[in-house]
């Protein structure tokens, strides 16, 4: 049995899938008074994202982009939007993946980290293994 070590660190961001990025950005900026970025199209990730800067973390508003968007199925089930995933920071993503796999958690895709929306290695853990929540790990 692998020893249990701390894996996750800070909450890096919480991602919300939205049907209308302009309207969602206006809500966070004008109603909630948050600092929001311009929209960034990330075709390789199938989303357009607006970053909402909070004092202690970030929120990412995600709108689908292109045909095979990874958030399309989620938005079909949740047409008004909803929390899509949460992202925790890790120091060593390969070590985290190995330890999580040893504890029975499933890493999505081929099990290896890929470069994510912030240019850093990320991977996703199966939501059925984590209380129905899609978890992203990002190496900082
Ligand atoms: Co994310």
Q: What are the structural domains, with CATH classification, of the chain?
A: 11-139 (3.10.180.10)
**Separation of 2 CA from ligand 1 center, angstroms?**
27
Q: Which of 124, 118, 74 is nearest to 100 (CA)?
A: 124
The predicted model gives 130-139 an average pLDDT of: 96
Q: What is the pLDDT of residues 68-88, one digit of tens each?
A: 899 999 999 999 999 999 999
Task: Give phi and psi for 43, each to the nearest 5.
Answer: -60, -35
Angstrom distance (rounded) from CA 88 to CA 96 = 11
Angstrom distance (rounded) from CA 116 to CA 122 = 5
Q: Which residues are catalytic?
A: 136
3-state secondary structure 57-71: CEEEEEEECCCCCCC
Q: Measure CA 126 to chain center.
A: 12
**Separation of 14 CA from ligand 1 center, angstroms?**
7
Check if the beta carbon of residue 139 is closer than 8 Å to that of residue 91.
Answer: yes
pLDDT at 2 over 60: no
> Pseudo-torsion of CA 62, 129, 106, 56, nearest 10°?
40
pLDDT at 5 over 70: no
**Separation of 11 CA from ligand 1 center, angstroms?**
11
Q: What is the pTM of this model?
A: 0.90
**Separation of 120 CA from ligand 1 center, angstroms?**
11
Question: Residues whose CB is under 5 A from ligand 1 (ion)?
Answer: 15, 87, 136
Q: What is the pLDDT of residues 15-50, one digit of tens each?
A: 999 999 999 999 999 999 999 999 999 998 899 999
């Amino acid at each position: 049995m692998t020893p249990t070590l701390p894996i996750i660190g800070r909450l890096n961001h919480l991602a919300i899938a939205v049907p209308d990025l302009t309207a969602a950005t206006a809500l966070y900026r004008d109603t909630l008074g948050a600092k929001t970025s311009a929209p960034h199209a990330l075709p390789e990730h199938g989303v357009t994202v607006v970053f909402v800067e909070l004092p202690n973390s970030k929120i990412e508003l995600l709108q689908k982009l292109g045909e095979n968007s990874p958030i399309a199925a989620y938005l079909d089930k949740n047409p008004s939007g909803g929390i899509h995933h949460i992202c925790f920071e890790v120091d060593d993503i390969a070590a985290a993946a190995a330890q999580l796999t040893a504890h029975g958690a499933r890493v999505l895709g081929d099990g290896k980290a890929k470069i994510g929306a912030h240019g850093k290695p990320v991977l996703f853990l199966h939501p059925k293994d984590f209380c129905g929540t899609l978890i992203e790990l990002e190496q900082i």
